[in-house]
Structure 1
Amino acid sequence: MYLKSSLIPKAIVSSLICIVFFHLCCQAQQIRTVETSIKYCQSQAIKTLKQIPEGDENDIPRSIQRPENSWRYVNYKDWCSGFWPGELWLLYEGTKNKDLGMEADRFTRQLQPLVNHPGYDHDLGFQIFNSYGNGYRLTKNEAYKKIILTAADSLAKLFNPKVGTILSWPQNVNKMGPHNTIIDNMINLELLFWASRNGGPKRYYNIAKTHASTTMRNHFRPDFSSYHVVIYDTVSGRKIKGITHQGYSDSSMWARGQSWAIYGFTMCYRETKDPAFLDFAQKVANIYLKKLPKDYIPYWDFDAPGGPQKPRDASAACVTASALLELSTFVKDKVLARKYRMVAEKMIGSLSSPQYQSRSLNPAALMHSTGHFPNGSEIDASIIYADYYYMEALLRLSKLQRGSNLYQPLK
């Protein structure tokens, strides 16, 4: 039986219309806000391009230390070398600026020598997949695909089947012990998953999944906070100890390390559909969210001393915001899914405020990231990987607002 419209009080109808109109207006405003932030990132990138030195092999932006207002540059060998071309590709996707696409291609091609060194380093994922990977997604350039597959083969050579993980830092074996695996390595598994679906052997998939499962067992404390580094015995394969390298202490929760875990296990669920990874992504996210300050931007280490005066790490917020947006699309509990998305939006809102955007102070997009506090390096700085994941989070939010697939190029 249907209610006749005449039986519905006009006041209720008017209220419903107002609610729908208000919702649509809010949605339109949110879309405009994200578009404004993307355009802002574009303007900062154009400023950066004008500053980059010509004819110097060190021409890839890495960081700006306050109160400086110009980038410190590195060459293709630096672990951060893929974030700048990757950010340019994301900007090309979000703005359709062909000049940025050409610059993305130029800086991407500079990284080609990395694949000439088999078993180079776990950072091949950051370097090659963020640059060539985004480039291939947007252009389908077959030359890019060949480089990505070669990099995946190089990364796979670092896998130790006895241990069940990839050796993250070959150069640190003498210093740290026989086999080190860092939580950052979770991000770089995406290179192997992708390669296994795009012409590479199935063993790449198996390596990535095994690495994630082993990390899930050994890299976390009972409260689901992460160690930065786990040392393994190469003969028995057993875990020797969990330590830190960039955190406050071996037992503290280093903010960016936890963000790598949230992002990495979310991505592993996307690639495998293994519910254990989805469940674990939520557990490592929940402990992180529980300890956040009111503005949703973490201190560099949640357990470091210093109170409200200790440095923040905007880069960790960018990684986490991007991860939570994806996680919100997988979680079956609608209330929890809404929570993850809402928190991600609040993180992006804080990052997009005058407190964190660099604006006229320097040509980076963001300020207040912390690179390697124990080493006294890049503390309260603008850092290129913060800008990369900020741009990725903005694009992901833009796609969700439009009901688009997160992994297809933005139309």
Structure 2
Amino acid sequence: MKQKKINNLIMVLSISILFSCTEKKKQNNSKISLENRYEKLLNYAPDSLAFPRSYSVVKNEIKKVPSKDWTSGFYAGNLWQIYELTDNNQYKELAKKWTAFIEKEKYNDKTHDMGFKVFCSFGQGLKHEENQHYKDVIVKSSETLISRYNDTVGSIRSWDFNKKTWDFPVIIDNMMNLEMLFEATKISKDSTFHEIAVKHANTTLKNHFRADNSCFHVVDYNPVNGDIRMKVTHQGYNDASVWARGQGWAIYGYTMAYRYTKDEKYLAQAEATANFYLNHKNLPKDGIPYWDFEDPSIPNAPRDVSAATVISSGMVELYQYTKNEKYLDYSKKVINSLKSEEYILEPTIKAPFILKHSTGNWPKKDEMDEPIVYGDYYFLETLLRMKSL
């Protein structure tokens, strides 16, 4: 009983700091809403073949995936982060169980998503305990990831599918997997991981951005001579459109790359894309973007909470390096919007998710306007980053 009271006090203090509410009633409502949603994650039993990815309100069904899915690491990461927010050991113990299920992915060389899977789980675990095994998994996963690197192109290959169309596709999302490589060098003292991460970041910087500092989703290369074959989209509205989550991967990715390298051109690109995003005429007042800024059905287009949380988390870190208040102001706006009943998943829905209204893959009409696990992950990360300020 005493431990529960301590946990409740920690949560009250955390939410009060994070949301800066002026009314005590609003603080209590926010605390209760989030705490209830967190507890739902404890009720989802560990299953190595059933990582929760999203939830369909229409079907009343949790979409479950195996560890090879690119989203598998986020659920364990969510549990680790809730443990950090609440100091409740139940979340830590459950996070360990889910993290262990992902270990076999360290040998999976058919994907570039090693960072999403392994670093969002094992990497989060390392923040909370000194664990040599976790370090070993991260290094081995990094060895597997760099096996997809092509020095002629100067990048890590993203996908292996759609071979009739693409020869060597590289997506903006791949910037997020570089964090694991940077950390692998810190752990192993082998500079190879860091060097390949820098080469990939430089190639992406050179070829993925438009004159207005928005970014393409996919750049396809000739793996023999390194020439660019095409610049297209796979998840945006069209090849020239502004896919919101893609802008988030760019802002977050280059801010993170600056953290490890202190290369000013990375910080400049992160700022330039962040400014493009913040100044876009189609960014809604509550800070939660439409899934793509060029969707002609705006203002009736779906929102993408996951894009908002990726960007809000990235902008907290961007603020730390630039001291530009507009980046932190955006993150605050997003958190204040997401803590409302408009975006928090109803407590009556027994699914292990916190937020609703994310858009997964609009062109395929997949995971449309649904709770998605990575939306929760970057929401929790934003809370922790703001708390650390």
Does structure 1 residue 83 correspond to structure 2 residue 74? yes
Does structure 1 residue 342 correspond to structure 2 residue 332? no
Matching residue's letter, 1:49 = L
Q: How far apart are the structure 2 equivalents of 1:121 and 1:139? A: 28
Equivalent position of 1:247 in the other structure:
236
Q: 1:285 and 1:306, CA in 2 relative to 1: closer, same or farther beyond 3 A?
A: same
Equivalent position of 1:168 in the other structure:
158
Equivalent position of 2:131 in the other structure:
141
Equivalent position of 2:12 in the other structure:
none
The answer to whether the 8 Å contact 2:217/2:234 transfers is yes
The answer to whether the 8 Å contact 2:245/2:306 transfers is yes
**TM-fit CA distance, 1:68:** 4.5
Q: How far apart are the structure 1 equivalents of 2:106 and 2:17? A: 44
Q: How far apart are the structure 2 equivalents of 1:175 and 1:257? A: 24
Does structure 1 residue 237 correspond to structure 2 residue 250? no
SS in 2 for 1:215: helix
Q: How far apart are the structure 1 equivalents of 2:125 and 2:236? A: 33
Q: 1:114 and 1:27, CA in 2 relative to 1: closer, same or farther beyond 3 A?
A: closer
Residues 243-267 of structure 1 show CA distances to partners (whole Å, capped at 9, x for unaligned) of 0001000000100011000000000
Residues 291-345 of structure 1 show CA distances to partners (whole Å, capped at 9, x for unaligned) of 21111100000001102111000000000000000000001xx4xx111101110
- Structure 2-normalised TM-score? 0.90
Q: How far apart are the structure 1 equivalents of 2:28 and 2:116? A: 26
Matching residue's letter, 2:103 = Q
- Structure 1-normalised TM-score? 0.85
Does structure 1 residue 293 correspond to structure 2 residue 293? no
Q: How far apart are the structure 2 equivalents of 1:395 and 1:121? A: 29
**TM-fit CA distance, 1:120:** 2.9
**TM-fit CA distance, 1:175:** 3.5
Q: How far apart are the structure 2 equivalents of 1:207 and 1:39? A: 45
Residues 212-231 of structure 1 show CA distances to partners (whole Å, capped at 9, x for unaligned) of 11101100111111111000
Q: How far apart are the structure 2 equivalents of 1:159 and 1:57? A: 29
The counterpart of 1:190, out of the listed 173, 176, 179, is 179
Residues 131-156 of structure 1 show CA distances to partners (whole Å, capped at 9, x for unaligned) of 00010121111111110110011111
Q: How far apart are the structure 2 equivalents of 1:34 and 1:346? A: 16
**TM-fit CA distance, 1:359:** 3.0
Equivalent position of 1:49 in the other structure:
42
The counterpart of 1:355, out of the listed 335, 342, 347, is 342
Unaligned stretches of 5+ residues in structure 2: 1-15
Q: How far apart are the structure 1 equivalents of 2:253 and 2:293? A: 20
The counterpart of 2:55, out of the listed 64, 70, 73, is 64
Does structure 1 residue 320 correspond to structure 2 residue 295? no
Matching residue's letter, 1:379 = M
Equivalent position of 1:14 in the other structure:
none
Does structure 1 residue 73 correspond to structure 2 residue 34? no
**TM-fit CA distance, 1:129:** 0.1
Q: Which has the larger radius of gyration?
A: 1
Mean Cα displacement is larger for which, 341-350 or 43-52?
A: 43-52
The counterpart of 1:377, out of the listed 357, 366, 376, is 366
Matching residue's letter, 1:193 = F
Unaligned stretches of 5+ residues in structure 1: 1-25, 401-411
The counterpart of 1:225, out of the listed 214, 217, 235, is 214
The answer to whether the 8 Å contact 2:155/2:199 transfers is yes
Does structure 1 residue 127 correspond to structure 2 residue 117? yes
SS in 2 for 1:240: strand
Equivalent position of 2:143 in the other structure:
153
Q: 1:316 and 1:29, CA in 2 relative to 1: closer, same or farther beyond 3 A?
A: closer
The answer to whether the 8 Å contact 1:39/1:95 transfers is no
The answer to whether the 8 Å contact 1:38/1:91 transfers is no
The answer to whether the 8 Å contact 1:38/1:94 transfers is no
The answer to whether the 8 Å contact 1:41/1:391 transfers is no
**TM-fit CA distance, 1:236:** 1.3
Q: How far apart are the structure 2 equivalents of 1:88 and 1:51? A: 11
Alpha-carbon RMSD: 2.0
Does structure 1 residue 100 correspond to structure 2 residue 76? no
Q: How far apart are the structure 2 equivalents of 1:204 and 1:37? A: 42
**Structure 1 segment 5-16 matched on structure 2, within 5 A:** none
Q: How far apart are the structure 2 equivalents of 1:36 and 1:144? A: 37
Q: How far apart are the structure 1 equivalents of 2:69 and 2:118? A: 12
Q: 1:354 and 1:144, CA in 2 relative to 1: closer, same or farther beyond 3 A?
A: same
**TM-fit CA distance, 1:45:** 3.5
SS in 1 for 2:371: strand
Matching residue's letter, 1:367 = K
Q: 1:196 and 1:139, CA in 2 relative to 1: closer, same or farther beyond 3 A?
A: same
Q: How far apart are the structure 1 equivalents of 2:293 and 2:115? A: 27
Q: Count how many residue pairs are aligned between Structure 1 and Structure 2.
A: 367
Q: How far apart are the structure 2 equivalents of 1:325 and 1:44? A: 24
Q: How far apart are the structure 1 equivalents of 2:196 and 2:307? A: 26
Q: Percent identity?
A: 42
The answer to whether the 8 Å contact 2:48/2:98 transfers is no
